[in-house]
Structure formats: C-alpha cells, structure tokens
Chains A and B, each alone.
Chain A
Amino acid sequence: MRFKRPIIYFFLSIWAIIVLFPFYWMVLTSFKSYASYAGERIPKFIATNPTLENYTSAFTAVPLAKYFANTLIFTLVTTGLMVAVIIFAAYAFARINFRGRHLMFVMFLALMMIPNELVIITNFVTITDLGMRNSFAGLILPSVTSVFYIYLLKENFEQVPDELYYAAKVDGTSDIKYLFKVMVPMCRPTIITVIILKVIECWNSYVWPRLITDDPNFFLVSNGIQEIRENGFGRDNIPAMMAAVVAVSVPLIVLFLIFRKKIMAGVSREGIKG
C-alpha cells in the first residue's frame, strides 16, 4: 500500500484545490480595483494593488448592511423560536405520558417525509392572504418548527435516566423547572448542534425569502446577492460583487471553523435519519 500514499495525497490535494479555489478567487477579486480587474484580459492570480474600496462600495452603493441586519434578525428570531418550540415538543414526547402520545409521534415522523416544495405553495398563498408579505413575521413563521430536530432532541431527552425525573418529582420539582434545570443543561450539546445547524440553514435560505419579499428593505443576504447580481452596482462591477460575496460567506465559515466537530457530527446524524 505504501507506494500509493503520494498518489492519494495528490488526488486529495486536487480536490482540495477545487474546493478552495472559488474561495480564493472571490477573496482575490474582491481586493482588485475595478479598473485593474477590467483591464485584465488574462486574469491575474494575485492582486498587484490590493484595495479595500470594493468593501466600501459593497456596504455603501448597495444596502448590504441592511441585508445583513435583516438576515441577523431573521436568523436569531427563527432559531430562538424554533429552539423553544422543539424543546417543549420533545419534552412532551420524551417525558409526559399523555394519551395519544404515540399516535402523535408517528404522525410527526410521517411529516418528515413531506418535501418542502409541496407545502410552500399554500404557505405562499397563506402568508400573502394574511398580508404578511414583506414582513419578518411572514419570513419567520413557516420555519419555526422542525420535525427532525424534535425527533433528535426527543431521542436525547430519553437518554436521561427516568430516575432523575422521579427524584425531581419526589422533591416537588415542577415539570417546567425539571425541563430547564435538568433536561436542557444535560442535553446542551445536542441543543447547541441543533442551533448551529439551524443558523446555517437560516443564513443560507433563499427560496422562501425570495417568494415572500420583493421589498429590498426585507431582503436577506441570499436575495441581496441576487439583487446585486441583477441590478448591482449600476455596472458590471465584479470586484465589488465579490466583496459582497466574501462578506456574506465569512460569518458562516468562521462559525464552521469554531464549531467544526459539532457541525460535522450533527450533519452526519442528520444523514442517518433516513
């Protein structure tokens, strides 16, 4: 096997270059001035006169800051609401012995099979009819539940030994206190994973915001990027676009590098759900 090692590293490196190159190119281009970029008939692999002017224009010529703020609000509120909703639902399924629990859980699981594309049409009509187009409510409401995350958290809650609950009951702990003082802290790793995955999903969401917003004041970054691309900087200003693209990509890449292990473990859990 040993003689194959260099070949393996060679091919892995090639794929690494393919993965990294777009990132390199966007960063590189974002530091080129418009004039020098337009003048390069053959693109250069280094920026000879690096400039930050593209970042300035990305945040001034187009309302990128506004898109960022919108996305931040959308992401935080959606994730926060979702975490609350799923914690309660998962607790009900894992711990409270109410009639109809098993039937409800099976029905929840069945909903996991429903593709988003099928329900988005009516949701679009519903939100439009409710007059919630171009509003945060309209953006947020349809995505504050996730059956899969309820399932994930329920599984985790069930691993907490029954005896902890009995002990708490005997001590007169209310369910709500038990949930937040014992269950949630004990299952914190799972909850953090769910939060990170949801944040990624929110930050990158494009289709629903596109359907539900046409007022740029409510655009999220994805829609903003699309808007910049279509109507952009008044001219085909690729370096400024790339500056915007870098700005949009950086937060998630930083998040990923910090929580790399958690994210990858969470995603592979998600993979096993089928």
Chain B
Amino acid sequence: MSSRKQLSGVNNVMTQVRGWLYLLPALLFLIAFMVYPLIDVFVYSYQEGFNSASQTSFGIGLYNYKYILRDPYFLKAVKNTFILVIITVPVSTGLSLLISLGLSSIQKLKNMFQTIFFLPYVTNTLAVGLVFMILFRKTPYTDGLVNLLIGKFGISPIDFIDGPYWAKMLVLSIYVIWIVMPFKILILTSALASVPEVYYQSAKIDGTSSWRVFWRITLPMISPMIFYLVITGFIGAFKAYSDAVAIFGVNLNAADMNTIVGYVYDMLYGDGGGYPSYASAAAIVLFAIVLTITVINLIVSRKATDNT
C-alpha cells in the first residue's frame, strides 16, 4: 500500500449511514450547546428590551450595546480586566521563562520541582482562592500572614481584601499568576527540551558565552512557543472570573473587582440578573476585544519571527 487511500468497499450505503450514525451524538450535542447558542447570542444581543420572564422584546437594534457601554459597572469591569491582563500576562510569561530556564539547566531534583510547580494546575480555583484570601486578609483580630511578612520591611498593614483598589488588584494578579504558571512552565520546559543539543554543543566549541547562547540560540528557537503562550495568556486573562470570585466572593461589583465575564454572568443570573440581552452584548464585546488582541498578537509575532 503506497498511499493512504480510503477503500470504496462493497456496501457503500451502509458506510454512509454508519458514518453519520457514529457522529450523531456528538453532532446533536454540539448543535444544541454550541452552534445554536452561538447564533442565538447574536440574536439576543440585538433584541431590545428582551424580558426573559415574558419572552418579549421591543425590537431590534444596538440598544443593548449602547446600554452596556454606558453602564459604569461594565466600564469598571473592562478597566479591571485590562489592568489584570496587562499585569499578569507579561509577569507570568517572563517568570515562567526564567523558571523553565532554571529547570532545564539542572538534573538533580528536576522531577520534584516540575511536579511541585505543576500542582496549582490540578487544584480547585475556588478552594485555594480561599487560602489566598485568609493569607492576605486583615481582620480586627489579626493582620494576616502577608501583612506580618511585609511588616518586617517596615510597611504598615494593608487590608488586601476589603481595602484600597490597588491592594485588591495586586492580590488578584498574584493569584491569577499563581494559577496560570504551571501551564506556562510545562510548555516552556518542553519547548526548551526540544531544542537540539547539537546547537549548544557547537556553540560551546565556538566558545560562545552562555548569555549569547540564550539570546542567539535558545530564545529564537522557542520564540514560537512564547508567542503562543502570550496569545493564550491574553485570551485566558481576558476571561478571568472564578479567580476573582474565589478571593472576593460572588458580589464582585461590591468589591469593585468585577471582570467582563463576571459582568456577563451578573447580567444573566443572580440578584441583578435576568438580562440575557445585556449579557450577550457584553459577551460579544469581550469576544471582539479578544479577537482584536489575538490578531494584533499574531501580526506582531509574525513580524518578529520574520525579522530573526
């Protein structure tokens, strides 16, 4: 058999039927829970004054978009999300690159470190968020462990959970970084491991300094993976939500820490909920932002890889 030809077989009608039959369950679920909702979310977003109780709407138009773009809660959520993205993506990517470089230059205990570093990936976001909360929290009874620690450097105690905006943003960013690091370390470590040893050996023979080896060999070789991590990092960080809930509780608006996704869910459900139209409009705005950022990222990464 030279090429990978599909056999025509003898009972062809049966093949057709069987193919679709095997595919049917997946197809039904995908249509019901992905394709239809995808169309519907756009419909919702243009239906004005949709009321989920009475299933009625006034008409079609851009009102929902105009509403959310004037809604201070939405604007706050957008601002929070952008700040979170701008802090966490570069920090987590840079940090994970450093850690991966460290990991790939040791042999002893490497496995143990890798295992430990991966742990946050398999933990329940909500559960560990609670731990972060108590570590950072300041209550009338205790300043909390973190305050105790920074107190050693002469900084007066801050309430990171119910206190100033930037303190809260800092905790959230730290937690998000803590959560996303395992994936990035894993990807970068395997990217580094896949750089052929011969490059390093020939550089060694040429007497290239390790600094130069990093900039001229390692980094260009793994740059596609770094760009990939940056892109997925942006996408993931824009969708941040449960991390914030884990630390500040479900009422994110009260905590001034809501995110775009949080806004979507608040519009959909809960005390302020029942507005799928606003939720849809917000979700589509989020998707548009993510798409734009991804496209920009792709263009930048292509330019950058072309130049090297």
Q: Which of B66-74, B80-88, B127-135 contacts A (4 or more CB under 8 A)?
A: B127-135
Q: Are A5 and B106 in contact (CB under 8 A)?
A: yes
Chain B binding surface, main DSSP class: helix
The smallest C-beta distance from A157 to any residue of chain B, in angstroms, reads 12
CB-based contact B268/A124 at 8 Å:
yes
Known: A43-B145, A97-B6, A145-B33. A249 touches B127 (CB 8 A): yes
Given contacts A108-B30, A121-B44, contact A256 B122 (CB under 8 A): yes
Of the four ranges (under 10, 10 to 19, 20 to 34, 35 or more), the interface on chain B belongs to 35 or more
Q: Are B102 and A1 in contact (CB under 8 A)?
A: no
- On chain B, the residues within 8 Å of A225 by CB distance are 124, 126-127, 130
Partner among A29, A91, A141, A241 whose Cβ is within 8 Å of the Cβ of B33? A141
B118 interface hit (Cβ, 8 Å): yes
Q: In the complex, which residues 125-162 of chain B have their Cβ closer than 8 Å to any Cβ of chain A? A: 125-128, 130-132, 134-135, 139, 141-142, 144-145, 148
Q: Who on chain B is nearest to A98 by CB?
A: B19
Q: Is the interface of A mostly helix, strand, loop or mixed?
A: helix
A19 and B148 within 8 A (CB): no
* Complex contact A96–B116 (CB within 8 A): no
| Docked pose: A88 CA to B174 CA in angstroms | 42
Given contact pairs A41-B141, A144-B29, A267-B121, a sample of 18 additional A-B residue pairs in the complex whose CB atoms are under 8 Å apart: A11-B98, A19-B181, A88-B22, A108-B30, A117-B286, A118-B37, A119-B38, A141-B29, A204-B123, A225-B126, A226-B126, A242-B134, A249-B123, A260-B118, A264-B186, A267-B183, A268-B190, A271-B228
Q: 12 interchain pairs (CB within 8 A)? A: A16-B113, A20-B119, A41-B142, A43-B144, A88-B26, A97-B7, A97-B15, A119-B41, A206-B242, A207-B242, A211-B265, A271-B186
List chain A positions with a Cβ less than 8 A from chain B. Answer: 1, 4-5, 8-9, 11-12, 15-16, 18-20, 22-23, 25-26, 29, 38, 40-43, 84-86, 88-89, 91-93, 96-99, 101, 104, 108, 111, 114-115, 117-126, 128, 141-142, 144-145, 147, 150, 162-163, 166, 175, 200, 203-204, 206-207, 210-211, 221-223, 225-226, 229-230, 236, 238, 241-242, 244-245, 248-249, 252-253, 255-257, 260, 263-264, 267-268, 271, 274
B: residues with CB less than 8 A from A are 1, 4, 6-9, 15-16, 18-20, 22-23, 25-27, 29-30, 32-38, 40-41, 44, 52, 98-99, 102-103, 105-106, 109, 113-128, 130-132, 134-135, 139, 141-142, 144-145, 148, 178, 181, 183, 186-187, 190, 210, 228, 231-232, 235, 239, 241-242, 245, 249-250, 261, 264-265, 268-269, 276, 279-280, 283-284, 286-287, 290
